[in-house]
Structure 1
């Protein structure tokens, strides 16, 4: 089994933590923005490019698939070649691909450029968690992780509002295209700032790239996601079911290869650290509900309720604001409550999803339900990250960060593919479609709460 191994020297220099955190969080912000900004622009893209429902899902999920599948490899490359170098490389690819997306003339081209965007994000984003793990400790690390959680919510709400504003403005008749082009000036500014302020490093250990693991896991995910996205419009053909079955087989091959790899994609000491496995499953299910929630509700607001893109974007503010507030301030809750707070918060998010079903016709009730869902998701997500990472050694920071962010993104992919397909299968979009979908989301949130129960055992964070 071929492995690529590179040994790099260590380089340390004084780091201005505030400036470091600002730069890397803005990079993270861009990556999150690019998911949500497209959600609210999806109906306009569908009309302008005559995209099918499956094509629209691939425009959104294609970015996340490439992003998710290459995250661990991106983290490992940062560990091998230097986190600053990989952050800057990923940012360059992401910015160039954003320009190409904004100029795309067909659904196929847009999907292709979105995949390239995902590659850039996969090189850039893992360096965020790795740099936090390597440069922040104790309470400072916990605060940085809280900011990270808030940035996830901030990117989501700003993406919805900015996307709605840009699409509604129809600048120079460009319609949806500025939702991608807005990344270009931000990316250029960050490239200059990163070159001046990010700490230089070349990693601290000998490591390798697990190419067989990357290929087998990528194949397993694609075999699972593609039939879910295309199955409804193709009337669930035999090849779709064969692909779903094949995904299980290929995933088994991935597990087999991991046990024999010299530098496995997911090292056993990372996956076996206390709380990591339960944390991974809980994060995955939580982000499944998040991805499905964003996709289906954006289509419902602009379809069944007839909202403009701007009004639809503004409607997401209560949910994202609740996520941001609970992400930032969860540590003010007594420490003894941090672990129990996770399943309780996930159940609260489930109640918020049920509220969306009750108030599907719009109004204040729908906004309150979104706020409850956001508060619950934020109150679960940030402590979940802190607890899951608390017993991972610094030398494994790159692998752990790549694993957690990959889990985060794969959850969103599966959420869009499953809950998005459920919503689209009930088209034309009506209140009934949202009701059925949000009830399924509530069930998934309850399952996530059950999976978080093993985390209740006392453990220092």
Structure 2
């Protein structure tokens, strides 16, 4: 996570207030991380109870990540324009209400809409915390705060699937999966109370530009591509999914044109002309898409192929998350010395881990235990953690300081959009291959993940050798 080059206006917060604000911001980010991952485990149970079919499994994660990715950069700009405190309160309120709607949804359509609303309000919420800390924290406190994000969000990424697995198995008050969303009424309510009491007043800057046209085009791109992928793989490649993908590509061309002509573009054209940054953008897009899809289909394979309960499947994925946390933590100390070599190492470990899984599934099919898969799952997590902790930090190694904000926001948005694309695309491959058995479906999905990961290796050579100096702790 990049530390801004300047800390903004003079610091006014006391040490106690800075720690309280940090706790609030971490709560907001943890809510986002938990809800982004909670359906990895819960999707089969939700789909069975709501009779949603394959399409619902794909949209549960994709709707959230699509809305989050499309609006993330805009959310930051709106905070600058109308005030971070105001947008934080709107985001937390909307996220809490959308969570309640998701938990009470009687049908797939309303649930998918609620998941999209969660992502949209989350995109208004998350950028404000970083901006508030930058304005009110001392440089020393800011460094301490950023150092806490990785471990806590890693714990939250573990907590989402594990929470889902145990809540579903507990069947609290006969509500099955619904409490995984309803718990946000308590957490979101607490966040609102704290935000009203703690966050400083700010009026924003009315002169800040927000590219509404560019945002609309970006939304149209992602919706068109995801709708085509989901509908085509679920209901056949008729005219509707094909036209949807074509429309997405047309909107992509229009978006590229808009970014070169807009007064306040979402993505500065100079960033795309930076070879190191654009290479990092491409590597991050593919790696996050492939690995997010892998996590989703592993959960499906464990529950549908190995007949694991939701709780056991969540524990089956735990080695991967532990690997991510371990590697991401190690990379914080190694990034100064090793730079982009860490990315090569991470990609190699992902390939070895997926190759190991491929051998196991190819040889034994669904006659496997979660314990047999655990070492390969852990190794794959180590590779993912090495990449997650370094790709975007290295990508901004050569950019100008005045482009840091736009670059960081763009990379965060790409991460969310990649996750949405990956969960839809790789699960589409999985379901398209189930006719030959779930073992074959998992094998095919792993081959796709390996191929996508492998093609990113040459692009890493074009990335900067080092992260910016302020990230080299």
Q: TM-score, normalised by structure 2?
A: 0.88
Partners of 1:290 and 1:78 in 2: how far apart?
31
Which residue, out of 434, 443, 451, partners 2:451? 443
The alpha carbon displacement at 1:334 in A equals 6.7
Does residue 120 of structure 1 match 2:121?
yes
In structure 2, the partner of 1:94 is 95
Task: Check conservation: 1:40, 1:163, Cα contact below 8 A.
Answer: yes
1:413 — aligned with what? 420
Task: Please tell me whether the aligned partners of residues 296 and 427 of structure 2 are also in contact (alpha carbons under 8 angstroms).
Answer: yes
Alignment correspondent of 2:12: 13
Q: 2:393 aligns with which of 358, 373, 386?
A: 386
Residues 1:336 and 1:401: Cα distance change in structure 2 (over 3 Å): closer
- Listed as ranges, the gaps of 5+ residues in structure 2 are 1-7, 362-367
Q: CA deviation at 1:14?
A: 2.3
Q: Which runs of 5+ in 1 are unaligned?
A: 1-8
The residue that corresponds to 1:348 in the other structure is: 349
Counterparts of 1:443 and 1:258, CA distance in 2: 31
Quick check: 1:336 aligned with 2:337?
yes
> Contact 1:340–1:456 at 8 Å: present in 2 too?
no
Question: How many equivalent pairs are there?
Answer: 453
2:378 corresponds to which residue?
371
Residue aligned with 1:207, SS = coil
Q: 1:138 Cα deviation (Å)? A: 7.8
Per-residue CA deviation, residues 377-420 of structure 1 (Å, 9 max, x unaligned), is 11122222333345666765553333122100111111011101
Structure 1 position 431 matched with structure 2 position 439: yes
- CA separation in 2, counterparts of 1:102 and 1:299? 21
* Mapped partners of 2:287, 2:147: distance in 1: 17
Report SS of the residue matched to 1:369.
helix
Task: Provide the C-alpha distance between the structure 2 equivalents of 1:21 and 1:392, rounded to a whole number of angstroms.
Answer: 28
Partners of 1:243 and 1:219 in 2: CA distance: 10
1:216 maps to which residue? 217
Q: Secondary structure at the match of 2:209?
A: strand
Shift of 1:311: 0.5
Change in CA separation of 1:91 and 1:274 when aligned onto 2, cut-off 3 Å:
farther
SS of 1:344 mapped into structure 2: helix
- Counterpart CA distance in 1 for 2:96 and 2:207 is 31
SS of the equivalent of 2:99 reads helix
How many angstroms apart in 1 are the aligned matches of 2:258 and 2:95? 31
Q: Distance in 2 between the 1:137 and 1:338 partners?
A: 27
Check the 8 A contact 1:75/1:398 in 2, yes or no: no
Name the TM-score, length of structure 1 as normaliser. 0.90
1:399 match:
406
Q: Distance in 2 between matches of 1:142 and 1:439?
A: 40
- 2:40 aligned counterpart, secondary structure: helix
